[in-house]
């Protein structure tokens, strides 16, 4: 009653993969649940103060006086020279969506969908919902290694002795359909191929979650988005190529005091952006003015 959800809404949420206790707070813009705070005879005022402080900090909008423009210019003035060196430092692919990167420092083939094998696989739960770091942060420790010549992918995970070897031949069978979740809203449909019980058992044991399955995207079927549009794209959220500038990340870390206190390394912060192309320039934020990026004979336009 509080959420004003109809019976059809509840059924639709269930079909989208929502179950009690999961991390899907919103589906199609509608809240899927509420939070209850119980107060008993042992509740102390400090407990209620903590709840009120959390609500105030996270959910209450406050009017904040903007700083003087001169101070903004002084603190964030950026020199953007027209020329300067540009270096491609790394190429990163993420064979399994939301898992760790496989980093390349030489060269890598391209396809019509982007970098070869980038975001080609996805791990889904027993309900067919795509697993991401939002619900399972340990995915970042699942490390793939690609051997193009042998057409195999090796998967390793901390404290798991066995390294899983997965072949990826071109002939694929056993099609299944999974729901791809983005920003807590399930909707995009992708068709993939299940890699079987042995892979499922290894993933379920590594991530301590029963019923996990590994699917590989079916290239014969274009991906269908929630708005009905179909695109020839991998399991990336929006675009085939994501780029980050090390120099700009360095500039950003100097502005975020919390990161300095935590003593995050520059490489660790760069990895958080999960970019495919890691570049470095002489000046920070120059990429904001770019209209085209050309590496060798390959050119693309930023979105």
Domain boundaries, the chain: 94-100+109-231, 242-289
Note the pLDDT tens digit of each residue in 129-150: 888 888 899 999 999 999 999 9
Does pTM top 0.75 for this prediction? Answer: no
- What is the rounded distance in angstroms from the CA atom of residue 238 to the CA atom of residue 219? 17
3 state DSSP class of 191: strand
Please tell me the number of Cα atoms within 13 Å of 115 on its side-chain side.
24
3 state DSSP class of 292: coil
The mean-pLDDT minimum among 27-31, 143-147, 272-276, 290-294 falls in 27-31
Contacts 24+ apart (CB under 8 A), 136-139: 136/98, 136/207, 136/209, 138/207, 139/96, 139/98, 139/99, 139/100, 139/207
Among the listed residues 39, 33, 63, the one whose alpha carbon sits nearest the alpha carbon of residue 51:
39
Average pLDDT, rounded, for the chain = 80
If residue 104 lies in a helix (H) or strand (E), which one and from where to where?
strand 102-104
Which has more pLDDT, 112 or 277?
277
């Amino acid at each position: 009653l509080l959420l004003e959800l109809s019976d059809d809404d509840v059924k639709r949420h269930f079909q989208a993969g929502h179950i009690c206790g999961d991390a899907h707070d919103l589906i199609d813009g509608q809240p899927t649940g509420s939070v209850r705070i119980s107060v008993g005879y042992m509740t102390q005022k400090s407990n209620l103060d903590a709840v009120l402080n959390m609500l105030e900090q996270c959910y209450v909008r406050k009017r904040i006086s903007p700083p003087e423009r001169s101070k903004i210019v002084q603190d964030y003035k950026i020199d953007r020279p027209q020329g300067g060196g540009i270096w491609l430092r790394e190429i990163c692919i993420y064979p399994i969506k939301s898992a760790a990167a496989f980093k390349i420092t030489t060269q890598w083939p391209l396809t019509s969908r982007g970098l070869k094998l980038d975001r080609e696989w996805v791990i889904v739960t027993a309900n067919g919902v795509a697993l991401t770091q939002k619900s399972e942060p340990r995915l970042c420790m699942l490390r793939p290694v690609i051997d193009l010549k042998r057409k195999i992918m090796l998967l390793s995970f901390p404290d798991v002795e066995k390294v899983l070897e997965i072949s990826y031949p071109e002939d694929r069978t056993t099609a299944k359909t999974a729901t791809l979740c983005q920003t807590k809203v399930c909707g995009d449909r992708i068709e993939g191929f299940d890699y079987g019980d042995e892979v499922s058992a290894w993933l379920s044991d590594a991530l301590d979650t029963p019923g996990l399955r590994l699917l590989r995207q079916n290239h014969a079927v274009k991906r269908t988005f929630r708005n009905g549009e179909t695109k020839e794209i991998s399991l990336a959220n929006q675009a085939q190529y994501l780029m980050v500038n090390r120099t700009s990340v360095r500039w950003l870390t100097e502005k975020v005091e919390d990161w300095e206190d935590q003593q995050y390394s520059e490489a660790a912060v760069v990895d958080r952006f999960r970019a495919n192309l890691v570049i470095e320039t002489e000046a920070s934020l120059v990429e904001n003015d770019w209209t085209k990026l050309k590496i060798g004979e390959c050119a693309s336009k930023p979105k």
